[in-house]
Amino acid sequence: MIRWRRGVVSSVGRSWEGAVELTVTVDSSPVRALAYPALVGAPVVGDAVLLNTTALSLGLGTGGYALVVALPDRLPPDPDVLDGPGHMVKGRYTPQQVTVLGVDEQDSPHHSLLASDVTLDGMPVVVADLHSALPAILAGIGPGRRVVYVMTDGGALPLWFSRSVATLRSAGLLAGTVTVGQSFGGDLEAVTLHTGLLAARHVLAADIAVVAQGPGNLGTGTPWGFSGVAVGEAVNAVSVLGGRPIGSLRISSGDARERHLGVSHHSLTAYGRVALAPADLVVPSPLPEPSAGRIEGQLAGLPDRHRLVRVDITGLDEALRALPVKLSSMGRGLDEDRVYFDAAAAGGRHAASLL
């Protein structure tokens, strides 16, 4: 259930696209908090705040913030939700449901385009399990390509939670964003992954799209109970829309959990059992020792419908280290789990080679 706290803003810290960090005094103690001004207004020092501290109390890896629910003494102006723009509701029937203009809804200038029989025109689409793969994929794609990030709703719902996306956009590595399903905050909003992909291609003029959930992967240690199962469904969506699905494999040589060592069971399940359409599954070359034998054995069990594509990773070290964001996945950086980031970057390199 939800843990609530009341406090007072004692300082306003750094901000990025759609979010601002705060220090809130709660029962005489400082609490690190995050506010989304588009939802609650812009907090200032001295504001009373209502906080949701659930994720902070649980110590979740991506939940190191209390979240501002409201500034009860200084509410933002009421938007005119009846007259628009937009009548698409996301976060539906939660206390903070939001109304957005969907790229595919009837009031959108792009509605007629998306109502027609358009396809992805063979566009390469890299699909990945974790949000942390996004920067590495972009490093592999390199400069000169128009890349759009399509964020699914398996992790964080507000795109604004991701500092990485804000930094990658500022650096010119991302041309745009689309939030699909219940996620929101992108340049474009879409009902489904399908219309989100079509909007990335035909509205934002993407050369390449990257599909991944927002920060905050959810897994239960069971064969089917993890949010990354949507990777297989993304492969099917890309295929049915006439795109080129490219699977970024989740590979690790540093994860202590047996189910994630080598090729993660997330990838083996999503690509092996959920994805019914063929995809290019990218394998970084060379694979690290002593994990190479284990990885090759796991790959051999994937269905023949997929194509294993070996991609030389020469030169990717420099590209990964030049990124403007810190590389981290499950608390491990580039030097702690190199093969994870190599695999993601190799997926990006393969996508760029198809253009």
| pLDDT (average), residues 73-77 | 89
What gap in Å lies between CA 40 and CA 26, rounded to an integer?
Answer: 19
258 pLDDT above the threshold of 70: no
Structure-token pair, residue 84: 């628009």
> By mean pLDDT, which of 48-57, 233-242, 310-319 is the weakest?
48-57
pLDDT band at 349 (very low <50, low <70, confident <90, very high): very high
The contacts of residue 77 (CB under 8 Å, 6+ apart) are: none
The contacts of residue 117 (CB under 8 Å, 6+ apart) are: none
| pLDDT (average), residues 223-250 | 95
pLDDT at 93: 95
321 pLDDT above the threshold of 80: yes
| pLDDT (average), residues 136-153 | 97
Arithmetic mean of pLDDT over the chain: 94
pLDDT at 83: 65
| CA distances (Å), origin 350, targets 8, 145, 170, 314, 328 | 50, 13, 24, 13, 22
How is residue 270 annotated by DSSP?
I
| pLDDT (average), residues 313-333 | 94
| CA distances (Å), origin 199, targets 33, 128, 191 | 33, 19, 11
Q: Could you tell me if 262 and 252 are in contact, meaning their C-beta atoms sit under 8 angstroms apart?
A: yes
pLDDT at 331: 82
62 pLDDT above the threshold of 80: no
Cβ neighbours, 10 Å, residue 101: 15
Strands (E), 139-234: 147-152, 176-180, 188-190, 208-213
pLDDT at 259: 67
pLDDT at 81: 63
Name 179's bridge partners.
151, 189
Q: If you write DSSP's letter for every residue of 217-255 in order, what string do you get?
A: --B-SSSS-BGGGHHHHHHHHHHHTT-EEEEE--EESS-
Structure-token pair, residue 205: 């003029």
Structure-token pair, residue 37: 């001004």
Q: Could you tell me if 67 and 52 are in contact, meaning their C-beta atoms sit under 8 angstroms apart?
A: yes
What gap in Å lies between CA 106 and CA 91, rounded to an integer?
Answer: 20
63 pLDDT above the threshold of 70: no
Q: Could you tell me if 310 and 100 are in contact, meaning their C-beta atoms sit under 8 angstroms apart?
A: no
3-state SS, residue 68: strand
The contacts of residue 100 (CB under 8 Å, 6+ apart) are: 86, 88, 89, 90, 184, 189
Residue whose tokens read 């009902």: 191
Structure-token pair, residue 325: 């964001």
> By mean pLDDT, which of 14-18, 131-135, 328-332 is the weakest?
328-332
- pTM for this structure? 0.95
Q: Which of 203-212, 261-270, 291-300 has the highest mean pLDDT?
A: 203-212
Q: Which of 17, 20, 25 is nearest to 51 (CA)?
A: 25
Q: Could you tell me if 236 and 277 are in contact, meaning their C-beta atoms sit under 8 angstroms apart?
A: yes
61 pLDDT above the threshold of 80: no
320 pLDDT above the threshold of 80: yes
